[in-house]
A and B are shown apart, each in its own frame.
Chain A
Amino acid sequence: MSERLDVRKTYKLLVGGAFPRSESGRSYEVLDAKGRFLANVAQASRKDVRDAVVAARSAQRAWWSLTPYNRGQVLYRLAEMAEARGRELAEQVGRAEGIRATEARATVARSIDRLVWYAGWCDKVAQVLGGQNPVAGPYFNFSVPVPSGVVGVLADQASSLEAFVDAVAAPLAAGNTVVALASETRPIPAALLGEMSATSDLVPGALNVLTGRTGEVAPVLASHEDVDGLDLAGADDVFAGELAALAAETVTRVLRGADPQDRGLKRLRAFVETSTVWHTIGP
């Protein structure tokens, strides 16, 4: 009997609900924590960033026009998908981060719990971040939180899944769409989460996951005029400063130094604008 051929997986990008190889056709080798070959991963180019931002922009209205309750259900569905493929996630997190299996499983569990936590927030953002304002007149004045729009996420370089989930689920919960650049050296858990999102009823394009060289792609994302918010978790101080300067060209909101272990609302609050609505008092 002949030996079975290996079926090796190349991890691809997630852009607009589809899984293209990079527009450039490039890929790069990803190694595990001990330096052994893990997999080939698509290496995004600046044109992939452009395509992802276009996809995110066109999905934003559709994602925000879902009811908040429905958005919560979709994020919860993503948690269900992650739970079902938890073993695969744990294996990849373990190999990427070089941690023991029990530790990796605990990390995956925390990540999924975090996703559920944000799913719950979808229909509570308005109550907590919005409000009624006192006015000197016979009418109401409401503050309503609305999403910034398209958020670029430069995901944490070390924490391959937990920090990634925190960085993408928060803007999604607030109604933004996301273009996320996964950790350069540990991109596989993020790519897996992207695969799961495609079967979670997420609006195609609401979450786009790019893998590639951070130094090459991040400046394109930061300088893109159509990106409304930028989370720079995955850049060191110097690089984050350069990216923030690029983003400042179009007054992009920038979030720096948010701690993934912080269980507060910092990330949820980061990419929300306040819209003020006037309303008459009834008879």
Chain B
Amino acid sequence: MVEVSPAPLRLVVDDERALRPRPGASVPVVESEAQLRSLLRGLAGVDAVGAEARAAKLATRSLKRETKRAAIDLALSMVDLTTLEGADTPGRVASLCAKARRPDPEEPDTPAVAAVCVYPDLVATARAHLVGSGVRVASVATAFPSGRASRAVKLLDVADAVAAGADEVDMVLDRGAFLSGRLGEVFDEVVAVREACGPAHLKVILEVGELVTYDNVRRASWLAMLAGADFIKTSTGKVAVSATLPTALVMLEAVRDFAESTGRLVGVKAAGGIRTTKEALRYLVVVNETAGSAWLDPALFRFGASSLVNDLLLQRRKQRSGAYARPDRVSVD
């Protein structure tokens, strides 16, 4: 089995908006629920109208020619190619892995995607098909997508995925506990899962569609980051409301502020409902304008998607040939 070490986090970027952590910045140690509560309550409220207006404004930016080509390739390299269906088979995972390694066989210079995301029981299959490719294996765990199971079951689920060779674990935040104010419980669970992950990266799924308000999204983001998340992720893709541009904006502000006050860079994964190149490029614009260019890297920003890849490939072909491409020229998953 090939060990893929997590990509090193970059702090130094040649950008005028380069990240400058405050001198002596470090992640605060959370010692009690009361302290956590006051920390999260102390966060400024989100200007909902402002966030939506800013996201809408940024969505009007258009990328052209070389920039667009580069952005399409960047977006491809940020995709967690995902299959999370009850009907998943080893064969389906194998074909997805083949696609992850070489998304467009007719265009060999197409970058590979960042990771393949599967359920824990299919991690070993994915691992075997991705040997030596540099594509990472991500697995959802902790009773995905609802998270309604006991702590012990969730931790076993995580241990199972890690033992099978998952490089990244996507856990679901306990929204029930969060919404009813049991913040200490949520925090402890993330810490416990973080420990169970060992060397694997931990992505915490906030399920923004169930958190209802932007304030909750900001608080949940901070909670997850304080508890040791390597990534915060918008959604499971299994509820009606998934990733939206304004929510991603709020989360990106959270990782930016967190980096400034603690010096630790946390990634963001936008998942669910992102199907077209146009939408993906809007996210990249928001990433660049909110968190900064350091986050324009698969180590710090990901798309959780399946059908998005095909649209990226079609647009990539269009950029190359000048003619609009036919959807059945790329593999149907």
Q: Chain A residues in contact with chain B, CB under 8 A?
A: 49-50, 53, 57, 220, 223-226, 246, 249-250
B105 at the interface (CB under 8 A from A): no
Interface size bucket, B side?
A: under 10
What is the interface of chain B mostly: helix, strand, loop, or mixed? loop
* Interfacial chain A residues near B325, Cβ < 8 Å: 225-226
- What does the 1/0 interface line of B315-333 toward A look like (CB < 8 Å)? 0000000111111010000
CB distance from A44 to the nearest CB of B (A): 14
CB distance from A59 to the nearest CB of B (A): 14
* Interfacial chain A residues near B326, Cβ < 8 Å: 225-226, 250
* Interfacial chain B residues near A250, Cβ < 8 Å: 326
Within 8 A of A (CB), among B218-251: none
A57 to B328, CA, bound (A): 11
Q: Chain B residues in contact with chain A, CB under 8 A?
A: 322-327, 329
* Interfacial chain B residues near A249, Cβ < 8 Å: 323
User: Considering the complex of A and B, which 7 residue pairs feature the smallest CB-CB distances, nearest first?
Assistant: A225-B326, A223-B323, A226-B326, A224-B324, A225-B325, A50-B324, A225-B323
Q: Which one of B322, B324, B329 lies within 8 Å of A53 (CB-CB)?
A: B324
CB distance from A181 to the nearest CB of B (A): 15
What is the interface of chain A mostly: helix, strand, loop, or mixed? helix
A50 to B327, CA, bound (A): 12
CB distance from B60 to the nearest CB of A (A): 13
CB atoms of A225 and B322 under 8 A apart: no
CB distance from A127 to the nearest CB of B (A): 30
Can you identify 19 A-B contacts, CB atoms within 8 angstroms?
A49-B324, A50-B324, A53-B324, A57-B327, A220-B324, A223-B323, A223-B324, A224-B323, A224-B324, A225-B323, A225-B324, A225-B325, A225-B326, A225-B329, A226-B325, A226-B326, A246-B323, A249-B323, A250-B326
A225 to chain B: closest residue by CB: B326
CB distance from A99 to the nearest CB of B (A): 38
CB distance from A140 to the nearest CB of B (A): 30
CB distance from A2 to the nearest CB of B (A): 39
A220 to B327, CA, bound (A): 16
A49 to B323, CA, bound (A): 11
Tell me which of A57, A225, A250 has the highest count of chain B C-beta atoms within 10 A of its own C-beta: A225
CB distance from B276 to the nearest CB of A (A): 11
* Interfacial chain A residues near B323, Cβ < 8 Å: 223-225, 246, 249
A246 to B322, CA, bound (A): 11
